[in-house]
């Protein structure tokens, strides 16, 4: 049978490539126009899918990068808050005069409010108790045992503060799945629409979940963030007070141009912040040292270092003249030597002059002493013409820490060697008094004469002048000078430096400085309960123990300047029911009724003689019973009166009226 074939039906139409003829029966299209065909610049299905996959990866990489940055920022917030919680309080202590000054009241209120907010923020950081084990030595059993104890630690915020390492593989699996779908979605509009809708929904859900997680993390980290912000606000408020104090103390600075005042304020803020960091480093090093010492003692009772080798040096105010530097430390007088704590205390009690200047000052003073010693060693040759030389000489020497503390107090915290040359000479002249006394005695010598005519010899006693040179050197003791040379504020600074040796016990260590002081911990003593039944004695010992560890300062008579022995006892009894004023050791003995050792009871005074070169009673303490006294030694401490030293100088007990 013959196959039937439809007749060709040809139509013409216009296309982008020109006129075309299409055979509807066969579907064949023929270009009948002379126009050249345009290049096909549309993307292929494969290239479109690849481009979308690349764009998707870029978006996901950007999201991962932002998540990691957020995690690092969150961890940094927690770290800053934890460090703020662990740091000592930066609350300043203000004197009554400062609180009464109208131009300082606003700055004081801001500082107090900032300190209150900081304390509240620290207290708001959550903590928890964890069970710890520790090894202790049971003396009764003679062996070690393990003991459980609860320790309060900081409770870290819930949730992940770091990027989840499993998120990357999950994201890669999602990207691969979406890539496979894209390969087929070009063939079906419905598939493409559904895939696009799915991707949009995933992104919306991810954004919403991320926002919720971020909000929760922000709420969880709020205590740490608030603590860090409160600490910075407290630092700014304290620095602002120091600046206002500088303006208050120096009207000339207040009258300076605005640029100078602005630069001064910024320098104060920077240096105060540096002291915050230095105090934190000191605390960490001290804690590490204590832990190391405890471990070594537990293992073999080996030696360990007692103090940090050196504190980091604070960068001082850079103005060009030392007066502006002094303003900063003059402002710090608001933190009284013994009343301040934390950063203020460290700042107040630290030598902040350069090591080169401090060592140069000590070398210059030692050079003056060497010249004096050379003068005495060759006195007869330097001062000839006398028949006899007699010497009554005190020992030459000084404590280098006393010298540097005096200079630092004079210059309100910082000095250079060029500034203290005249002061070194003045201190030297006050410490050493060299006197020469010439005594003329009429003496007789026998002279023999021969008569030229008779040859007879005769003798007679002939008077002549005999010259005696008496050389006396008195060392007044450099440590006795501050009370005569300083006002109360300077004396307070001097006592602060001596209480810690400027936080530089390494500065004059070793055998090169045999007279250098060393930090000493006070001796403590548990008063028997029956002794405290005496209300008068209980009041005395309560007042006296407030000042354990205070340094010995010759002539000191108050907590702001610290004490000497009689100043300490006078202060205690004047604040325990008596009113005797400021008396010396001999004056305290004079108001007491002598009692024997067998009759002595807690609360009696105990007196000593000959502890230094002075007539009469030279030292006094408060008897605490049990053969112990509390007295102002170096530092204020308990001490046994039964040692050979105190027994050799013992004079009497005395009962207060």
Strands 617-625, 605-609: pairing kind: antiparallel
pLDDT of residue 21: 81
pLDDT of residue 38: 59
The two three-digit tokens of residue 37, written as one number:
């065909």
Question: Directed axis angle between helix 45-86 and helix 189-220, to 10°?
Answer: 10
3-class state of residue 138 by DSSP: strand
pLDDT, tens only, 616-647: 999 999 999 989 999 998 889 999 999 999 99
Query: How far apart are alpha carbons 505 and 495 in whole angstroms?
Result: 15
Q: Is the pTM of this model over 0.85?
A: no
What's phi and psi for 586, nearest 5 deg?
Answer: -65, -40
3-class state of residue 363 by DSSP: helix
- Conformation bin of residue 513: beta by default, left when phi > 0, alpha when psi is -120 to 50: beta
The two three-digit tokens of residue 527, written as one number:
């008063």
pLDDT of residue 345: 55
Q: Are 478 and 426 in contact (CB under 8 A)?
A: no
Flag residues of the chain having pLDDT under 70. 1-7, 16, 34-57, 90, 131, 133-148, 158-193, 195, 210, 250-348, 510
Burial of 631 (0-12, 13-18, 19+ CB in 10 A): buried
DSSP E strand boundaries for 359-431: 388-393
Strands 457-475, 388-393: pairing kind: parallel
Q: Are 620 and 565 in contact (CB under 8 A)?
A: yes
The two three-digit tokens of residue 345, written as one number:
């205390």
The two three-digit tokens of residue 611, written as one number:
């502890």
């Amino acid at each position: 049978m013959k196959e039937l074939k439809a007749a060709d039906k040809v139509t013409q139409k216009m296309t982008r490539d020109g006129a075309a003829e299409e055979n509807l029966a066969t579907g064949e299209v023929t270009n009948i126009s002379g126009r050249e065909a345009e290049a096909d610049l549309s993307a292929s299905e494969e290239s479109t899918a690849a481009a979308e996959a690349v764009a998707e990866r870029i978006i996901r990489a950007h999201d991962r990068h932002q998540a990691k940055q957020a995690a690092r920022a969150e961890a940094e917030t927690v770290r800053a808050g934890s460090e703020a919680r662990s740091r000592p309080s930066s609350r300043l202590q203000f004197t009554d005069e400062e609180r009464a000054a109208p131009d300082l009241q606003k700055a004081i209120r801001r500082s107090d409010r900032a300190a209150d907010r900081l304390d509240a923020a620290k207290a708001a950081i959550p903590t928890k108790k964890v069970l710890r084990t520790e090894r202790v030595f049971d003396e009764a059993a003679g062996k070690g045992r393990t003991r459980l104890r609860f320790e309060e630690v900081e409770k870290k915020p819930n949730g992940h503060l770091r990027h989840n390492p499993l998120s990357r593989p999950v994201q890669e699996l999602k990207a691969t799945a979406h890539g496979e779908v894209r390969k087929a979605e070009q063939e079906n509009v419905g598939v493409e629409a559904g895939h696009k809708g799915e991707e949009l929904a995933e992104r919306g859900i991810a954004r919403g979940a991320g926002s919720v997680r971020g909000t929760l993390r922000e709420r969880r980290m709020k205590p740490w963030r608030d603590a860090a912000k409160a600490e910075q606000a407290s630092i700014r408020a304290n620095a602002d007070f120091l600046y206002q104090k500088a303006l208050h103390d120096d009207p000339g600075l207040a009258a300076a141009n605005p640029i100078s005042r602005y630069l001064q304020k910024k320098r104060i803020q920077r240096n105060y912040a540096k002291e915050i960091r230095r105090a934190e480093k000191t605390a960490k090093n001290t804690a590490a040292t204590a832990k190391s010492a405890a471990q070594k003692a537990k293992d073999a009772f080996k030696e360990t270092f007692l103090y940090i080798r050196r504190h980091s040096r604070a960068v001082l105010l850079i103005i060009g003249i030392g007066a502006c530097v002094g303003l900063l430390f003059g402002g710090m007088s608001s933190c009284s030597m013994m009343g301040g704590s934390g950063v203020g205390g460290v700042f107040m009690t630290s030598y902040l002059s350069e090591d080169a200047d401090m060592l140069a000052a000590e070398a210059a003073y030692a050079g003056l002493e060497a010249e004096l010693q050379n003068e005495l060693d060759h006195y007869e040759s330097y001062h000839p013409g006398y028949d006899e030389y007699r010497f009554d000489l005190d020992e030459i020497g000084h404590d280098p820490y006393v010298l540097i503390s005096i200079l630092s107090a004079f210059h309100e915290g910082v000095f250079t060697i060029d500034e203290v040359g005249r002061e070194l000479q003045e201190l030297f002249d006050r410490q050493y008094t060299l006197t020469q006394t010439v005594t003329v005695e009429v003496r007789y010598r026998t002279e023999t004469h021969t008569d030229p005519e008779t040859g007879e010899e005769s003798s007679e006693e002939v008077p002549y002048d005999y010259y005696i040179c008496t050389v006396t050197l008195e060392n007044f003791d450099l440590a006795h000078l501050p009370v005569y040379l300083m006002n109360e504020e300077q004396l307070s600074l001097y006592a602060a430096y001596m209480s810690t040796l400027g936080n530089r016990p390494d500065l004059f260590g070793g055998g090169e400085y045999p007279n250098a002081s060393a930090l000493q911990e006070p001796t403590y003593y548990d008063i028997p309960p029956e002794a405290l039944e005496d209300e008068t004695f209980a009041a005395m010992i309560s007042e006296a123990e407030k000042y354990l560890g205070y340094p010995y300062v010759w002539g000191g008579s108050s907590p702001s300047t610290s004490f000497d022995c009689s100043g300490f006892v006078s202060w205690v009894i004047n604040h325990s029911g008596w009113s005797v004023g400021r008396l010396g050791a001999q004056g305290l003995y004079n108001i007491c009724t002598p009692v024997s050792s067998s009759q002595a009871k807690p609360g009696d005074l105990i007196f000593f003689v000959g502890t230094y070169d002075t007539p009469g009673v030279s030292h006094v303490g408060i008897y605490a019973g049990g053969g112990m006294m509390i007295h102002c030694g170096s530092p204020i401490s308990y001490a046994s009166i039964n040692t050979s030293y105190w027994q050799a100088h013992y004079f009497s007990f005395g009962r207060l009226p």
